[in-house]
Amino acid sequence: MADDYTPPKVWTWDAPSGGQFANINRPVSGATHETALPVGEHPLQLYSLATPNGQKVTILLEELLEAGHAADYDAWFIDIGAGDQFGSDFVAINPNSKIPALLDRSGPQPVRVFESGSILIHLAEKFGAFLPASGPARTETFNWLNWQMGSAPFIGGGFGHFYQYAPVKIEYAINRYAMETKRLLDVADKRLAVSRYLAGDELTIADFAAFPWLGGLSLGLSYAGADTFLALHEYEHLARWANELYARPAVKRGRKVNARDGLRERHAVSDFDGLEL
């Protein structure tokens, strides 16, 4: 990468940008090919991949089942490296071509739900769980849920990309996003110093949203070496919270759904039999 790069007056997409995602990144939206999505027997059809954003939804679904709710679902593997997210049926559910995407077929007409935060809210309201019904507790849950949604691009697309995925190491970019990631970790650590969970004393969708990102970093499950690089040991309250959530069986199961080394597809509780969690 030249260190004397000057941006042109008008940017044009002349060539792929490089890196492992160069073959799928493009500056336009919409389908690139006609592809029918598979449909299983359950009302809830999830099309996803076990990235942090995908894990949010499968963790919630497994927690709902653990709590006795009738939230069984089919989860189908979407290979974003192969461009599955640009298939016509997927784009019909999520025009932004990002996982996760949910089709809820429980009503008279199928309902599409896209964006992980929207899916969490939809499911929490549908089953009346992990989201206070009203009042300040509900608002506080939304505060922390939206905080996480706004934070993820700095951690994933910022720090994670330049620290692990970029074809060259750029000191300025890594320093910029490491600083912002540590600030976000500090926000969470200070909150968890005075609160068992992010929104208060009760487990909510805000925790399920944050755990795959912040918990993954804290536990050394994300971006090899990042826990050392970012000195995650400094955030003791975050570590307490992360370990508490990671000990939950439903969280362990949810992390494995749509994972290349776990359940590429999930259709029944019995699918976890024999799988190392």
Residue 187, pLDDT score: 98
Q: From the first residue on, what is the mean pLDDT of each consecutive set of 10 residues in the chain (277 residues)?
A: 79 76 84 96 98 98 98 98 96 98 97 98 98 97 98 95 93 97 98 98 98 97 95 98 98 97 96 93
User: 135-246 — its CATH code?
Assistant: 1.20.1050.10
- Three-state SS sequence of the chain: CCCCCCCCCCCCCCCCCCCCCCCCCCCCCCCCECCCCCCCCCCEEEEECCCHHHHHHHHHHHHHHHCCCCCCEEEEECCHHHCHHHEHHHHHHCCCCCCCEEEECCCCCCEEEECHHHHHHHHHHHHCCCCCCCHHHHHHHHHHHHHHHHHHHHHHHHHHHHHHHCCCCCHHHHHHHHHHHHHHHHHHHHHHCCCCECCECCCCHHHHHHHHHHHHHHCCCCCCCHHHHCCHHHCHHHHHHHHHHHCCHHHHHHHHECCCCCECCECCHHHHCCCCC
Q: Which fold has domain 44-130+256-272?
A: Glutaredoxin (3.40.30)
Tell me, what's the pLDDT at 20?
72
Q: Domains of the chain: which residue ranges?
A: 44-130+256-272, 135-246
Amino acid letter, 25: N
